Structure 1
Amino acid sequence: MPYYVFRMGMFKVLEKQGEWASFKEAKAHTNELRKTLDPKSGDKYKMIFAENEIAAQEALTAERALEKTLFGDDW
């Protein structure tokens, strides 16, 4: 399974930056892209390990359920 790198813009709009077979190459590329990112833009670079590009996009845009034990005054 390959590693995918996406630029995530506002409203979770994804733009594929590439895919790599090894973690080391993907991580290095992601770090280089993050160095060029304007912090005011609100965009992020995300790296994900997935079976295919569609599965990677679904995982990055999926809504996560909140952990019930982490909110409220009882924690």
Structure 2
Amino acid sequence: MPYYVFKITQPTPIIKNLDFQQAFETFKEAKTFSRAMRAELPLNGAISVKMVHAANQLQAEELLQEKREETVVKEWEK
């Protein structure tokens, strides 16, 4: 399964705009590319770069679009 790299903009909390950048066969290549892209972005920008491991590009987009539950912070973890 390849690694897919996306540039993500989120104009509202509900909407995510995914911009596919490139697919890689190895983790190391994808990680290097993602880090290089993040280094080019402004620090306070609303753009993020995500890498996801999926069977195909459609599954990768679905994984990035799904709403994840917030983790419950226990009292001793604060």
Any residues of structure 2 matched to 1:1-75 within 5 Å, and which? 1-10=1-10, 11-67=15-71, 69-70=72-73, 75=75
Unaligned runs of 5+ in 2: none
Q: Percent identity?
A: 34
* Partner amino acid, structure 2, of 1:4: Y
Unaligned runs of 5+ in 1: none
Number of positions where the alignment pairs a residue of Structure 1 with one of Structure 2: 71
Aligned-CA RMSD value: 1.4
Question: Runs ≥4 in structure 1, deviation > 3 angstroms?
Answer: none
Structure whose residues are more often helix by fraction? 1
* Partner amino acid, structure 1, of 2:63: A
TM-score after normalising by structure 1: 0.85
